[in-house]
Amino acid sequence: MSNLDTSTAAEWPLWEVFVRSKSGLDHKHCGSLHAADPKMAIQMARDVYTRRQEGTSVWVVRSDQIVASDPADKDMYFDPMEDKVYRHPTFYRLPGSVDHM
Amino acid sequence: MQGSIAIDQSPSVQYLLRVGDTCLILGQRIAEWCGHAPILEEDIAMSNMALDLIGQARAVLTHAGQLEGRGHDEDQLAYLRDEKDYRNLTLVELPRGDFAFTVLRNAMVATLMKLLWERLRDSSDAELAGIAGKAIKEARYHQQHAADWVVRLGDGTDESRQRIEKALRELWLYVPELFESDAVDEAAQAQGLGPRWADLRAPWLEEMDTILDEATLSRPDEAAFRSTGKRGVHSEHMGFILAEMQHLQRAFPGGVW
């Protein structure tokens, strides 16, 4: 990241925060924060994102460790799926005992 | 203008007031960081901690009022006593200082409260034991959070080190009061209400030494000075914080949200 100017280079790194609201559910992305290291990031995530009982578990990930798709590739990546309804398995009848699909 | 209430001087009520008032006044001091902490995340952390402490104070003061049997509720006890009837440690009424001062004081008080709540879980007073069971979890987090910062500042930059060393010199003057025994403590011990605070001294020093060692700080010698907040004789700072806290209840008696 050679294009960082000195003011941002001196800042604490950015972390993405994921909170699991209860056991069995997935961790969901809920925001980000600046922290000096993993321990501080976890504590701050706890203080900022779970203060109203939102969570039972917290993950933090350095934002610069996330590999993202390029917005310029959006058309190429995602538009071709628009007219392919047959990829949605909506034509099958589910047994009554299968809920929440 | 609402006048002051007189409180019961029995040892068990006094013992509870020491616990409740220490939480109440430190909660008020930490709350002063709201909107002023060095970073947003710490601002929220400080407010969380202040609210934990005020929650603990509410529970303990409510119970003290019931034990007292004069019909005083948590608000009356929190806001309508004269300065001499507050029983908090002098340590917690000192102005909030800089961030180093605040986190070191939090580490010292949270370590004390953690040790105290641990023992109060076995109190002969079931209500107090119940409050302790809940508060211990909060105190553990307060200690971890504050101790982390003490280590970061002690082992950080020249400026952070100089600030935490200054805070350590200032705050350590108020340590002896934490562990002075008197008739209130002896009575609490005899009744099984709670431990003598003097008995917490050895484990407290052990835990503080661990934190200070990791922060590469050396523990100051014990001061000859003895503060006396637990007995109701406070520093010059107490009147100011009470004026701020009490203004609303005095001006609008019984006012609620």
Q: What is the pLDDT along chain A (101 residues), one digit of tens a residue?
A: 444 455 556 789 999 999 999 888 999 999 999 999 999 999 999 999 998 888 999 999 999 999 999 999 988 888 888 888 778 777 777 787 876 65
Q: What number is the average pLDDT over the span B199-216? A: 98
How far is residue A21's CA from residue A31's CA, in Å, rounded to a whole number?
14
Instruction: Please report the sign of the dihedral spanned by the C-alpha atoms of residue B101, residue B113, residue B73, residue B193.
Output: negative
- Comparing A73-87, B206-220, B237-251, the range with the smallest average pLDDT is A73-87
Q: How confident is the model at residue B1 (pLDDT cuts 50, 70, 90)?
A: confident
Judge residue B145's burial from the number of C-beta atoms within 10 Å of its C-beta, 0-12 exposed, 13-18 middle, 19 or more buried: buried
Residues of A within 8 A of B148 (CB-CB) are: 39-40, 43
Mean pLDDT of chain B: 96
Give the closest-approach CA distance of B202 to chain A in angstroms.
29
Write down the pLDDT at residue A1: 42
How far is residue B73's CA from residue B58's CA, in Å, rounded to a whole number?
9
CB distance A43–B48 less than 8 Å? no
Q: What number is the average pLDDT over the span B235-242? A: 98
Write down the pLDDT at residue A89: 76
Which of these, B169, B151, B44, B49, lies nearest to B97 by C-alpha position? B169
Q: Which amino acid is at B128?
A: L
Q: Determine the Cα angle at B242 with ends B241 and B244, to 5°.
A: 65
CB distance A47–B45 less than 8 Å? yes
Write down the ipTM of this complex. Answer: 0.79
Residue whose entry in the numeric block shows the structure tokens 């700072």: B237
Residue A46: closest C-alpha in chain B: B45
3-state secondary structure A13-69: CEEEEEEECCCCCCEEEEEEEECCCHHHHHHHHHHHHCCCCCCCEEEEEEHHHCCCC
How far is residue B121's CA from residue B137's CA, in Å, rounded to a whole number?
12
Q: What number is the average pLDDT over the span B217-237? A: 96
Give the closest-approach CA distance of B41 to chain A in angstroms.
6
Give the closest-approach CA distance of B188 to chain A in angstroms.
35
Write down the pLDDT at residue B251: 92
Residue A34 contacts B, CB cutoff 8 Å: yes
Quote the DSSP letter at residue A80.
Answer: G
Which of these, A75, A83, A62, A73, lies nearest to A14 by C-alpha position? A62
